[in-house]
Amino acid sequence: MFGKSSTIRKYKYKLRPALAKRYGGSVTYTKAQVDKIIDVMGFNKKHIHYAYFMYCDIATYKANLPEGESLESMNNTITNISGIGVLGVLLGSSIFSDIDSGSDVGGDGGFGGGDGGVF
């Protein structure tokens, strides 16, 4: 779990500022943009689906969700590692259940994943 925790912390606190610096401030980023910054920064890719969950649109992170993993379990992991989940702050529990079940709740997804500073 140590490697996973460390990687997710890096994704949460270091990836957004790097994405914003290179691509400008945005609610979501493309998979290619996230992949590029992770390569440039040398981050572990084993848990890259967490980066997609935090910074990409719904279609991207759902398409890259590993078997046996759910959006709820990923949010719980982020909460356990950093003390606050991606969804807990930004969405109410009823909206979360709609997203996890595949309903369209409007918007393009992407949940931030860190304070990353002011855009």
pLDDT above 70 covers a percentage of the chain that reads 68
Token duo for residue 31: 């998979």
Q: What would you measure as the largest C-alpha separation in the chain, in angstroms?
A: 37
DSSP string, 45-112: -TTHHHHHHHHS-HHHHHHTPPTT--HHHHHHHHHHHHSS-HHHHHS-HHHHHHHHHT---SS-----
The model's pLDDT over 15-52, given as tens digits with 9 standing for 90+, comes to 999 999 999 999 899 999 999 999 999 999 999 999 99
Residue 94, pLDDT > 60, answer no
Token duo for residue 12: 């949460």
Query: Which pLDDT score, from 0 to 100, does residue 90 have?
Result: 44
Query: Which pLDDT score, from 0 to 100, does residue 85 have?
Result: 59
Residue 98, pLDDT > 60, answer no
Token duo for residue 35: 């992949």
